[in-house]
Chain A
Amino acid sequence: MFRFFMKKVAFQITKGQLQDHPDQNRLKDPSAKLSKKLCNNLQTIQQPTGYSSDIIIREFSFGQHHKKSAALIFVDGLADSKIINKSIIEPLLYQADLSDEGSQSQDALINQLKRDLLSVSEVDQAETLDEVFDGFLSGDVALLIDGLNLALVLSCKGWEKRSIGEPSGESVIRGPRESFTENIRTNTALIRRKIKNPALTIESMKLGEKTRTKVCLVYIHGVANPELIAVVKERLASICTDSILESGYIEQYIEDSPASFFATIGNSEKPDVIAANLLEGRIAIVVDGTPFVLTAPYLFIEGFQTAEDYYFRPYFMTMLRLIRYIAFVITVFAPAIYVAVTTYHQELIPTDLLFTMASAREGVPFPAFLECFIMLLTFEILREAGVRLPRPVGQAMSIVGALVIGEAAVSAGLIGAPMVIVVSITAVSVFVVPKQEDSSAMLRLIFLVLSAIMGGYGITIGLIGTLIHLSALESFGVPYLAPLVPSDLSDSKDALIRAPLWLMVSRPKGMARNDRKRKDFFVPPAEKTNNHSQNRRAKS
């Protein structure tokens, strides 16, 4: 039913938007071939760009007696001018000693250029206008030569880029501190540095008709489920849009249930997290221009796992993981339960606590629901302001938040003190499970309204509804609640608890189909050394 409505709404909204769009594309036929005449080619290339000032065309002539005229096309700022000077222009101008120019065939000329003259690492041939545009607009140099109906695209990307920094969203105490950058090649290199295996496959494609954003599909061949790879490819291919500016665009185009509060595609800015995901048989999607790499399938329990879980020893991490589940329950249910208990089920409160709560509510002008709603709204406003505001203002913000909202509201008698505690613990618990932050914020409000209307009964209805929804959700064919529902004992080693690494013998079932074994069952080294020392003792 939900899906039906989504479709209806989507149709109505898009119908109006798509009424008229005159074709204003200056590039009439992108797949047109290059001509043999250099001046024609230059004309056809310059015209669609509107003679943009950053597109540099360097015309020159080379060969014996400088008879061959040619042109380099590149974008100022994207291409590395040092490489252009040193490795392209210099050899062509001073070393080009082409034999038998007139009689030389086209292929022979190109071969000679490639083999003897151009000292750049990557040389491609472009036959259509489209390919030429792709080449120089993404930072390469296009070399057009008079008399050739194709262009050489020489790689010399060299734009300014941010260096690898620390992840801002996923900070760790222990573990690598590098994070992805906006540059796709840096990002794929970071992944490859973690997994030095020929089976690590990186497939590239360009998405977005206008932005032509480079998107890489990364998986480990033989580990990732081939059906899963096919599904992801199919969904990526079906994306039909003019722009991909961030991986979030792709996430929203290919996710299983766009109508759900719960994300079914994960993201991370840490290469070690992505590598671990790949090794579990997931697929990563790296998008140019963003440090956030997508992973699919994404399951509910992944929100409760962190990279550090596997770097620290298992026992404390198991406790922390349970705490994360508790925190999620608190952040979703605490306000709702507080409202339900204080307005419907006072018999559930221990008598002495009831006195404290009742005396705190004495003189509060609003009903408990409204009181709670105001506080939650205030918290969300403060949080949003904290994210948006410029850093120097941050301090003023926290003072206003802590003093005015917490202290003054209570002493002025607008809000009861227990409500401040409930909303505070709710607010703090959100940040324990940052991956489910968005869904928990929505659920919290829904449960709050339900509990205000129907008390504990309402919370139960909401809970059942949420559970039904969650168990119906799928992420790329894998049940969203796996391995909790459907329950799977062998995969539970990494769900509610974090089993010791020597117990984690297999990859999770949903993703990896073929190569499920991670390693042989491992005898803890302590026993080995014990045997060893016993042997030694026996010898002596």
Chain B
Amino acid sequence: MKRWFKLCLIMVLVTAMLLATAGCCDCRELNALGIVMGVGVDRGEPYGEIAVTVQVADVGQDGSGSSSSNMQKESSTNSNFFNSTQCGIDILSTLHKFSLSLSRKLYFAHNQVVIFGEDLAKQGVRDIFDFFLRYSESRMNVYVFVAKGKAADVLNVQPTFEKIPSAEIASLMSDPIGSVGKPTVLVKDFASQLISETSSAVAPLIQVEEKDGEKYFSIAGCAVFKSGSLVGELTPEETKGYQWIKGNVKYSNVAVTTNQTLANVIITSKKSKITPVLEDGNVVSFRIKITAQGSLISQEGPMDFTKLENLALLKKNVEFAIQQDIERTIEKTCQMGADIFAFGESIHGKYPKEWEQLQQQWEEYLKTIRVETTVSVAIGGTGKTTTPLYPKDMM
């Protein structure tokens, strides 16, 4: 009797202890979390420090948004979010400072955007960016931006559609329409660009504009990094050239004028290929081939694009426009000495031996490279109508 009872007791205790060792240490209830939706990093006040702004969602009770904490609040009348800023020597020590002022544990798994201030980006972001890769809660599919001005200002803009600015910025980027002007850069992309020896990183520029006293943000081209530091900017027009080659272009339009007819062609998909050509071991040229599909979606003018010769003319113009975009951008970035198209890596892939020599003076070579661009666009349709709204004799 005693023996089996003892045995039973031991079994129960061992099981209980085993369960207890697993513990509830990671357990956190939902109402103990401060859900971080966006992080902005700016240059701090004393030189060398950084100022981290976290945007925390204030979920309120049952979405009413009435109850809110008496935490530091910089933003607004609407209390769906609040921003909080702390300074420190690096991100983690700054985050730990938040625990002195915020009653909830900051939770980064739902972070939507990382925004670097312009000043900080000029100083360099390579070391700071390590946190966003290493921290267990951070995700790889977070959008990276560079703010024109201060990142904290961008996070303070009242959103128009969403409840939280970070969510609005994220949905702005995930919208495929007009994607030719908005390079989508995620943490994983930015990190792989930073780690490359010769290629340069890019990130979309986000700016705050003011109109009739209301602030709103917009994508204003593209920031170009070189070895982790901001070295230049591309205008929205120049950004297109980058996107035609490297980006994921969906629903982006190209407007061209053909015989006084303004026609808009929407590009729905494209493929690009960069092939390096080495002559005599040192003269470098690249063949860039772009094939795209699109269709005519609007026209202002009498030209009838159902006629094949007119369509061919349109196709030629669209191809030329894209080619212009590309060549302009390549020229500008090569002058900056920033290899945002990863030309270097394409040589490395195809001519690994020659690359060893070229790599030393890659920046010099970059300024002298020649590019042959061939663009072929297949225009597949003319929308719901065919001929323009002109009488036949005017066409």
A interface residues with partner B (beta carbon < 8 Å):
5, 8-9, 12, 342-344, 346-347, 351, 354-364, 367-368, 417, 452-455, 457-458
- For B62, the closest partner residue in chain A by CB is A359
Known: A355-B57, A455-B27. Is A360-B35 also a contact (CB below 8 A)? Answer: no
Bound CA–CA A250/B8 (angstroms): 29
B61/A362 in contact, CB under 8 A: yes
The reply to whether A343 and B28 form a contact with Cβ atoms under 8 Å apart is yes
Residue from the list A8, A346, A351 in contact with B4, Cβ < 8 A: A8
Name the residue of chain B whose CB is nearest to the CB of A454.
B22
In the complex, what's the smallest C-beta–C-beta distance from B309 to chain A, in angstroms? 51
Q: Is B179 an interface residue (CB 8 A)?
A: no
Q: Judge if B109 is at the interface, Cβ distance under 8 Å.
A: yes
A360 CA to B110 CA in the complex, in Å?
18
Determine whether B251 belongs to the interface, using a CB cutoff of 8 Å to chain A.
Answer: no
Contacts of B110 in A (CB 8 A): 346-347, 351, 354
Q: Which residues of B contact A360 (CB under 8 A)?
A: 62
B107 touches A (CB below 8 Å)? yes
Looking at B1, B19, B26, B31, the one whose CB has the most chain A CB atoms below 10 A away is B31
Question: Cβ of B60 < 8 Å from any Cβ of A?
Answer: yes
8 Å CB contact of A358 from B8, B11, B22, B35: B35
Q: Are A358 and B59 in contact (CB under 8 A)?
A: yes
Per the bound structure, the CA–CA distance linking A362 and B29 in Å amounts to 10
Which residues of A lie under 8 Å from residue B100 when comparing CB positions?
none
B372 at the interface (CB under 8 A from A): no
Q: How many residues does chain B have at the interface if contact means C-beta atoms less than 8 Å apart? A: 32
Contact A368 B112 (CB under 8 A): no
- Known contacts: A347-B109, A356-B63. The answer to whether A362 contacts B31 by CB under 8 A is yes
Inter-chain CA distance A455–B23, complex, in Å, is: 10
Set of chain A residues within 8 Å of B29, measured between Cβ atoms: 342-343, 361, 367-368
Task: Determine if B167 is an interface residue (Cβ-Cβ < 8 Å).
Answer: yes
CB-nearest residue of chain B to A7: B4
Tell me which residues across on chain B come within 8 A of A361, comparing CB atoms: 29-31
Contact mask for chain B residues 1-41; partner A; CB cutoff 8 A; 1 contact, 0 none = 10010011001000000010011101111110101010000
Query: Which residues on A sit within 8 Å (CB–CB) of B7?
Result: 8
How many A-B pairs have beta carbons closer than 8 Å: the answer is 83
Tell me which of A357, A362, A364, A457 contacts B60 (CB under 8 A): A362
Contact A458 B22 (CB under 8 A): yes
A417-B11 Cα distance, complex, nearest whole Å: 39
A357 to chain B minimum Cβ distance, whole angstroms, is 6
Complex Cα spacing A367 to B107, Å = 18
Closest to B11 in A: A5
CB < 8 Å neighbour of A351 from B11, B137, B167: B167
Among A12, A344, A367, A452, point to the contact of B1 (Cβ < 8 A).
A12
Q: Does the CB pair A355–B59 fall under 8 Å?
A: yes
B67 interface residue (CB < 8 Å to A)? yes
Taking CB atoms, residues of chain B closer than 8 Å to A344 are: 26-28
With a cutoff of 8 Å between Cβ atoms, the chain A residues found around residue B33 in the complex are 346, 358
Given A354-B110, A355-B35, A355-B59 in contact, is the A346-B30 Cβ separation under 8 Å? Answer: yes
B31 and A358 within 8 A (CB): yes
Bound-state CA distance A342–B33 (Å) is 11
Taking A351-B110, A452-B24, A457-B22 as given, write out 19 further A-B residue pairs in contact, using a Cβ cutoff of 8 Å, ordered by the A residue number: A5-B8, A8-B4, A12-B1, A12-B4, A342-B29, A343-B27, A346-B33, A346-B109, A351-B37, A351-B112, A351-B167, A355-B63, A359-B59, A359-B62, A361-B29, A361-B31, A363-B61, A453-B22, A454-B22
User: Of the candidates A355, A364, A453, A455, which one forms a contact with B19 in the assembled complex, judged by CB atoms under 8 Å apart?
Assistant: A453
CB distance from B368 to the nearest CB of A (A): 48
Q: Which of B92-144 contact A (CB under 8 A)?
A: 107, 109-110, 112, 137, 139
A248 CB → nearest B CB, Å: 28
B24, chain A: closest CB distance, angstroms: 6
* Contact yes or no, A368 B22, CB < 8 A: no
Question: Quick one: closest B residue to A343, CB to CB?
Answer: B27
Task: Give complex CA distance A455, B19 in Å.
Answer: 12
Q: List 30 A-B contacts (CB under 8 A).
A: A8-B8, A9-B8, A12-B4, A343-B27, A346-B28, A346-B30, A346-B110, A351-B37, A351-B167, A354-B30, A355-B35, A355-B57, A355-B59, A355-B63, A356-B63, A358-B31, A359-B61, A359-B63, A360-B62, A361-B30, A362-B59, A362-B60, A362-B61, A363-B31, A367-B27, A367-B29, A417-B62, A453-B22, A454-B19, A455-B26
Which residues of chain B from 39 to 70 have a CB within 8 Å of any chain A CB?
57, 59-63, 67
Q: Which 8 A-B pairs have the closest CB atoms?
A: A347-B109, A359-B59, A361-B30, A358-B59, A362-B61, A358-B30, A361-B31, A454-B22
Q: Of all chain B residues, which has the CB nearest A351?
A: B110
Least CB distance from B299 to A in Å reads 40
The CA of A458 and the CA of B1, in the complex, are separated in Å by: 34
Q: Distance (Å) between the CB of B290 and the closest chain A CB?
A: 35
Q: Which residues of B contact A5 (CB under 8 A)?
A: 8, 11
Q: How far is the CB of A94 from chain B (nearest CB, A)?
A: 71
List A contacts of B59 (CB < 8 A).
355, 358-359, 362
Q: A310 to B21, alpha carbons, bound, how many Å?
A: 50
Nearest B residue (CB) for A347:
B109
What distance in Å separates the Cβ of B106 from its nearest Cβ neighbour in chain A?
Answer: 12
Bound Cα distance A344, B63 (Å) = 23
Q: How far is the CB of A226 from chain B (nearest CB, A)?
A: 40
Nearest CB of chain A from residue B135's CB, rounded to whole Å = 12
Contact of B137 among A342, A347, A356 (CB under 8 A): A347
Q: Known interface pairs A8-B4, A453-B19. Does A354 touch B35 (Cβ–Cβ under 8 Å)? A: yes
Q: Which residue on B lies nearest to A461, using beta carbons?
A: B22
B378 to A: closest C-beta gap in Å: 37
Q: How far is the CB of A413 from chain B (nearest CB, A)?
A: 9
C-alpha spacing A364/B7, complex, angstroms:
41
Beta-carbon nearest neighbor of A371 in chain B: B29
B174 to chain A, nearest CB (A): 12
- Separation of A424 and B19 alpha carbons in the complex (Å): 29
Give the residues in chain A near B167, CB-CB below 8 Å.
Answer: 351
Bound Cα distance from A364 to B62, whole angstroms: 11
- Least CB distance, B68 to chain A, in whole angstroms: 11
The residues of B that contact A454 with a CB separation of less than 8 Å are 19, 22
When the two chains form the complex, which single residue of B23, B28, B31, B139 contacts A364, counting CB atoms closer than 8 Å? B31
- A342: B residues at CB distance < 8 A: 29-30
Q: Which residues of B contact A453 (CB under 8 A)?
A: 19, 22-24
A357-B30 Cα distance, complex, nearest whole Å? 8
- Residues of chain B contacted by A343 (CB below 8 angstroms): 24, 27-30
B166 nearest CB neighbor, chain A only: A351
In the complex, which residues of chain B have a beta carbon less than 8 angstroms from the beta carbon of A354? 30, 35, 110
- Give Cα A44 to B30, complex, Å: 79
Complex CA gap A474/B59 in Å reads 51
Instruction: Compute how far the CA of A62 lies from the CA of B139 in the bound complex, rounded to whole angstroms.
Output: 102
Q: How far is the CA of A368 from the CA of B27 in the complex (A)?
A: 10
Residue of B at shortest CB range from A418?
A: B30
Cα distance A102–B110 in the bound complex, in angstroms: 107
Q: Which partner residue on chain A sits nearest B80 by CB separation?
A: A355
Chain A contacts for B27, CB-based, 8 A: 343-344, 367, 452, 455
Q: Which chain B residue shows the least CB distance to A360? A: B62
List chain B residues, Cβ under 8 A from A458: 22
Chain A: minimal CB distance from B303 (Å): 47
* B3 to A, closest residue via Cβ: A8
The chain B residue with its CB closest to the CB of A457 is B22
In the bound complex, residues from chain A placing their C-beta under 8 Å from that of B11 are 5
Least distance between A355 CB and chain B CB atoms (Å): 5
**Contact across chains for A359 and B4 when beta carbons are under 8 A apart:** no
Q: How far is the CA of A356 from the CA of B33 in the complex (A)?
A: 13
Residue from B23, B67, B109 within 8 A of A362 (CB atoms): B67
Q: CB-nearest residue of chain A relative to B163?
A: A355
CB-based nearest A residue for B8: A5
Docked Cα-Cα span, A182 to B358, in Å, equals 95
Closest CB in chain A relative to B137 CB, distance in Å: 7
- In the complex, what residues of A have CB within 8 A of residue B60's CB? 359, 362
Closest to B170 in A: A351
The CA-CA distance from A361 to B29 in the complex, in Å, is: 9
Instruction: Determine the chain B residues whose CB is within 8 A of the CB of A356 once the complex forms.
Output: 63
- Cα separation A364 to B59 with both chains bound (whole Å): 14
